[in-house]
Amino acid sequence: EPEVTQTPSHQVTQMGQEVILRCVPISNHLYFYWYRQILGQKVEFLVSFYNNEISEKSEIFDDQFSVERPDGSNFTLKIRSTKLEDSAMYFCASSELGTSGGDEQFFGPGTRLTVL
């Protein structure tokens, strides 16, 4: 069964460093998403991406964050200068169609980012 994969499973970085979290969505999917979950808090939407551009983003997704689909398979989230409060589990998801039509978002296992 096709699945969304994410690497690495755990990333430790120093405050101020840049990190890139990587995701491989399901191959025929057109919509891509990043969510995060700070320990003990809710899963929060960060950004959605369609047709090589951001379609929606939350207030959390400020200038420190960027997303890219560098090739036909990868979808990345970059945090330019990490802060302690960026420590969280980051989930990538993809869907064939948009969720507003009821389509399922398939989630990856997450990358745990720890900022020291």
Partner 1 sequence: GEDVEQSLFLSVREGDSSVINCTYTDSSSTYLYWYKQEPGAGLQLLTYIFSNMDMKQDQRLTVLLNKKDKHLSLRIADTQTGDSAIYFCAETSRAAGNKLTFGGGTRVLVKP
Q: Is 96 in the site for partner 1 (CB under 8 A)?
A: no
| Residue of 19, 21, 25, 33 that binds partner 1 (CB under 8 A) | 33
Transcribe 101-115 into DSSP letters. GTPPPEE---EEEEE
Q: Is the CB of 27 or the CB of 42 nearer to partner 1?
A: 42
Q: Say how far apart CA 66 and CA 22 lie, in whole Å.
A: 12
Q: How far is the CB of 85 from partner 1 (least distance, A)?
A: 18
* Burial of residue 22, with CB atoms counted within 10 A of its CB: 0-12 exposed, 13-18 middle, 19 or more buried: middle
Q: Is 82 in the site for partner 1 (CB under 8 A)?
A: no
Q: Is 114 in the site for partner 1 (CB under 8 A)?
A: no
Q: Is 28 in the site for partner 1 (CB under 8 A)?
A: no
Residues in touch with partner 1 (CB under 8 A): 4, 31, 33, 35, 41-45, 48, 50, 55-56, 58, 91, 93, 95, 98-100, 102, 104-110
